Amino acid sequence: MKKLIAGIDIGGTNTAFGLVDDAGTVHAEGIISTCKYIDFDIYLQALRDAINQLIDKAEESFELAGIGIGAPNGNYYTGCIEFAPNLPWVGVLPLVEKLSALVPNIPIVLTNDANAAAIGEMIYGDAKGMKNFAVITLGTGLGSGIVVNGEILYGHDGYAGELGHTIASINGRECGCGRCGCLETYASATGIKRTVYKLLADHAADSELKNISYNELSAEMICTAAINGDTIAREAFAHTGEHLGRALANLVAITSPEAIFLFGGLVKAGKYILEPTKKAMEENLLKFWQGKIKLLLSGLNEKNAAVLGAAALVSSETITSS
């Protein structure tokens, strides 16, 4: 019987999941709401039921060999989601323990969403064969999954890789973490929105973004405006890239990766995010690193990347066909 792994990507709005084989093919996919479940236990039951339905509907019968989960603030060491600001449940959530009770005798592995993206890039994407690289996820916040010697850098407590909360600007923008000037207040979907509003305040140039309220404005709209030639949108990407590139140069100084992959919604802007980021990174690198660090867009199909990454968490050994 063929063995498949369930990859689960828990986001603030929705939870996406899929059944993945060891070649990285997603055989079936599903989605449930995250935010409508106020009770964590009821959410987990709904998730278990939805995965079971996917298995029942599958074309051929197979065995579930493991479950890999990427979640904001997911801790690999403890198996808990700990104090995630964008999820409906507060405090420490013993996800692996509770899901194991619902789906017994199946290995379950949890990590944060950026680490899952890095593992996905290493197993199924363009980081195949690389031992030292980083994946930067540019979503609502900025996450980073850092691979050192072929393994995720977890650090002492499982929380390493918080590049989004390094200080990009002393006494800078207020961050959701309660401090000021964090990188993700500049370089993320939320950060670029704030930059657009700053530019609209400072400059007189016309812009299609003047018709959109702060709450309506999405990173996708800013991408589209930049592609359409909107000067404010392009300038916003230039500012975003400047902050991001400078932070990436610091990341290189500390970890010396072979490559850095950009991933997530902002990446749809293509060269408008890549070029200013590369320029600022190069300007801030020590001479012997200049021109040597690959800055790339993620090689994974964005729709499936988070699910693939989560599935890749479970060792590929367990999914060899029997």
Between residues 40 and 154, which has the closer beta carbon with respect to its own copies?
Answer: 154
- Min dist CB 278 to its own copies, Å, is 17
Q: Which is nearer to its own copies, 99 or 118 (CB)?
A: 118
| Positions in the binding site for its own copies (CB under 8 A) | 82-83, 131-133, 144, 146, 148-149, 151, 153-163, 165-167, 170, 177-179, 246, 249-251, 253-258, 284, 286-289, 292
3-state secondary structure of 25: coil
Residue (165 or 268) nearer to its own copies, CB: 165
Question: Rounded distance, CA 220 to CA 271, Å?
Answer: 14
Q: What is the DSSP string of 253-300?
A: HHH--SEEEEESGGGGGTHHHHHHHHHHHHHHS-GGGTTTSEEEE-SS
Q: Which lies closer to its own copies via its Cβ, residue 257 or residue 276?
A: 257
Whole-number minimum distance, CB 73 to its own copies, in Å?
9
Q: Which amino acid is at 170?
A: I
Cβ of residue 157: shortest distance to its own copies, in angstroms? 6
| End-to-end C-alpha distance for the chain, whole angstroms | 6
Q: Which is nearer to its own copies, 178 or 229 (CB)?
A: 178
Residue closer to its own copies (CB basis): 151 or 220: 151
Q: Judge whether 277 and 286 are in contact, CB under 8 Å.
A: no
Minimum distance from CB of 85 to its own copies (Å)? 11
In the bound complex, what is the minimum distance in angstroms from residue 274's beta carbon to its own copies? 20
Closest distance to its own copies from the beta carbon of 249 (Å): 7
In 3D, which of 237, 221, 317, 308 has the Cα closest to residue 277?
237
Instruction: Give the whole-angstrom CA distance, residue 43 versus residue 39.
Output: 6
Separation CA 318–CA 322 (nearest Å): 10
In contact, 10 and 87? CB cutoff 8 Å: yes
